């Protein structure tokens, strides 16, 4: 198998006939001459298929792209869950997943178990479940769970396992290879990587489930715009390079903040001292650029971000630019001063100097 960089650059390559563009342009048409495989823009599009081929190759499954990460998440839940089912959700994962089930799937009368990512996973925990959904590393706490062990327990109980792989990306972790049935992500983050696209995807090793997901996407209209998909495919080509720089910056930031008198609760799964590291190093192929830490108050966290010259206050992660997001302002059950810090692609020395100056 070729390396990550080669796969990112060449994944989903288009027509190689002489005279054709080396990078396929986006197909913006919403209607097509009937008689071929494409007929209407809500059902299929060649630009979607190119990115689906690329991400599917990296994930190791059949990929379906969506208009956003939450479009992917909600489509997954609507496709799999039926009336009276039991679903396990991460208590410390992305808050909108829990909110969507609570506020929009009430008619299904689901039994919902919210489980911390770092919980002790037992047969009793997954008993009777239809779907076990985990997010590892979790957002924003960066805890991890053993995907292979969760899959073993869930499958013994007759449940499907879906892994939110947004934080890790397909280069950092391949849940399908670890036994999960489904991997999904917000590609708004690191996969597209330039903070200019809202997008999501689901990949599964089950072709029948992929067919059901595509049918649900068409019927619900949770479809992405072809230009956004094309931008994400373009961004995917540099994913390997960006992740390498971001992870190097995260490692440098972790070392710079470790022992700092103002910093508490410093987390990065790539650090040997991090409580998540033993499992993370076993199942992750590389570590990302997201670090979390806590300052003494909300005001202190806001002041830090305001003073930093290279760090923007923004509520996303995985982009070229370093950002910091005080997560409690969005309703996450975390301390008021907790910051999710997304390391960008700046020079490490510049970034560290800026962060330390802002903390003074």
What is the residue-averaged pLDDT of the chain?
97
Which CATH number do you get for residue 124?
A: 3.40.640.10
H helix or E strand, kind and range, residue 242: helix 239-257
pLDDT of residue 19: 82
Q: Are 145 and 134 in contact (CB under 8 A)?
A: yes
Strands 290-294 and 264-267 turn out to be antiparallel
Q: What is the band of 240 on the pLDDT scale with cuts at 50, 70, 90?
A: very high
Is residue 250 located within the same domain as residue 228?
Answer: no
Q: What is the band of 1 on the pLDDT scale with cuts at 50, 70, 90?
A: confident
Is residue 232 located within the same domain as residue 244?
Answer: no
Give the CA dihedral 141, 146, 148, 154, nearest 10 degrees. Answer: -80
pLDDT of residue 195: 97
pLDDT of residue 21: 81
Is residue 24 located within the same domain as residue 37?
Answer: yes
* 32-65 per-position pLDDT tens digit: 999 999 999 999 999 999 999 999 999 999 999 9
* 180-226 per-position pLDDT tens digit: 999 999 999 999 999 999 999 999 999 999 999 999 999 999 999 99
Is residue 310 located within the same domain as residue 292?
Answer: yes
Is residue 190 located within the same domain as residue 149?
Answer: yes
* 309-321 per-position pLDDT tens digit: 999 999 999 999 9
Mean pLDDT of 9-37: 87
**Taking the alpha carbons of 61, 162, 99, 277 in that order, is the dihedral positive or negative?**
negative
pLDDT of residue 148: 98
Count of residues making up the chain: 360
pLDDT of residue 103: 97
Share of the chain above pLDDT 90, in %: 95
* 119-175 per-position pLDDT tens digit: 999 999 999 999 999 999 999 999 999 999 999 999 999 999 999 999 999 999 999
pLDDT of residue 209: 98
Which CATH number do you get for residue 276?
A: 3.90.1150.10
pLDDT of residue 117: 98
pLDDT of residue 320: 98
Instruction: Give dist(CA 287, CA 167) in Å, integer.
Output: 9
**Domain span including residue 194:** 4-236
pLDDT of residue 285: 97
Among candidate residues 171, 202, 236, the one where a domain is terminated: 236
Is residue 270 located within the same domain as residue 232?
Answer: no
* 57-111 per-position pLDDT tens digit: 999 999 999 999 999 999 999 999 999 999 999 999 999 999 999 999 999 999 9
Is residue 59 located within the same domain as residue 142?
Answer: yes
- Any bridge partners for residue 342, and if so which? 290, 323
Residue 278 has pLDDT above 80, yes or no: yes
Order across the sheet with 62-66: list the strands. Answer: 62-66, 200-204, 182-186, 160-164, 131-135, 86-90, 111-115
Is residue 11 located within the same domain as residue 120?
Answer: yes
Give, as one character, the DSSP assignment of residue 189.
T
**DSSP 3-state of 292:** strand
Is residue 340 located within the same domain as residue 353?
Answer: yes
User: What's the token pair of residue 12?
Assistant: 């989903």
Residue 15 has pLDDT above 80, yes or no: no
Domain count, the chain: 2
Give, as one character, the DSSP assignment of residue 262.
T
H helix or E strand, kind and range, residue 312: strand 312-313
Is residue 61 located within the same domain as residue 105?
Answer: yes
Is residue 139 located within the same domain as residue 280?
Answer: no
Share of the chain above pLDDT 70, in %: 100
Q: What is the band of 31 on the pLDDT scale with cuts at 50, 70, 90?
A: very high
Q: What is the band of 20 on the pLDDT scale with cuts at 50, 70, 90?
A: confident
The answer to whether the predicted template modeling score (pTM) of the entire model surpasses 0.85 is: yes
Among candidate residues 207, 236, 265, the one where a domain is terminated: 236
Number of H helices, E strands in the chain: 13, 12
Residue 343 has pLDDT above 90, yes or no: yes
Is residue 307 located within the same domain as residue 348?
Answer: yes
Among candidate residues 192, 217, 236, the one where a domain is terminated: 236
**DSSP 3-state of 183:** strand
pLDDT of residue 24: 80
pLDDT of residue 300: 98
**Taking the alpha carbons of 249, 252, 258, 259 in that order, is the dihedral positive or negative?**
negative
């Amino acid at each position: 198998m070729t390396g990550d960089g080669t796969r990112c650059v060449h994944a989903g390559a288009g027509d190689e006939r002489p005279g054709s563009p080396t990078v396929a342009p986006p197909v913006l048409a919403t209607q097509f001459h009937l008689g071929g495989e494409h007929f209407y823009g809500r059902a299929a599009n060649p630009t979607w298929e190119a990115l689906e081929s690329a991400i599917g190759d990296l994930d190791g499954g059949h990929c379906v792209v969506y208009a956003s990460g939450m479009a992917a998440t909600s489509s997954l839940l609507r496709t799999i869950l039926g009336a009276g089912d039991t679903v396990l959700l991460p208590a410390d994962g992305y808050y909108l997943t829990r909110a969507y089930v609570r506020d929009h799937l009430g008619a299904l009368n689901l039994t919902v178990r919210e489980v911390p990512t770092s919980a002790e996973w037992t047969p009793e925990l997954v008993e009777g479940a239809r779907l076990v959904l985990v997010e590892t590393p979790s957002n924003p706490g960066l805890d991890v769970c053993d995907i292979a062990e969760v899959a073993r327990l869930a499958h013994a109980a007759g449940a499907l396992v879906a892994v939110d792989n947004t934080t890790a990306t397909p280069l950092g972790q391949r849940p399908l290879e670890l036994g999960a049935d489904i991997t999904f992500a917000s590609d708004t983050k690191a996969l597209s990587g330039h903070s200019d696209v809202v997008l999501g995807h689901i990949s599964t090793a089950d072709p029948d489930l992929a067919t059901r997901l595509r049918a649900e996407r068409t019927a619900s209209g949770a479809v992405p715009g072809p230009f956004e998909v094309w931008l994400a495919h373009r961004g995917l080509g540099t994913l390997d390079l960006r992740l390498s720089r971001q992870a190097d910056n995260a490692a440098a930031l972790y070392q710079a903040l470790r022992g700092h008198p103002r910093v508490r609760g410093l987390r990065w799964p790539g650090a040997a001292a991090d409580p998540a590291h033993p499992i993370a190093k076993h199942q992750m192929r590389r570590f990302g650029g997201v670090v979390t830490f806590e300052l003494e108050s909300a005001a202190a966290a806001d002041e830090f971000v305001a003073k930093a010259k290279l760090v923007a206050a923004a509520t996303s992660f995985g982009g070229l630019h370093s950002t910091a997001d005080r997560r409690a302002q969005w309703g996450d059950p975390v301390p008021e001063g907790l910051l999710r810090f997304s390391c960008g692609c700046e020079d490490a020395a510049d970034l560290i100097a800026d962060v330390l100056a802002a903390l003074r």
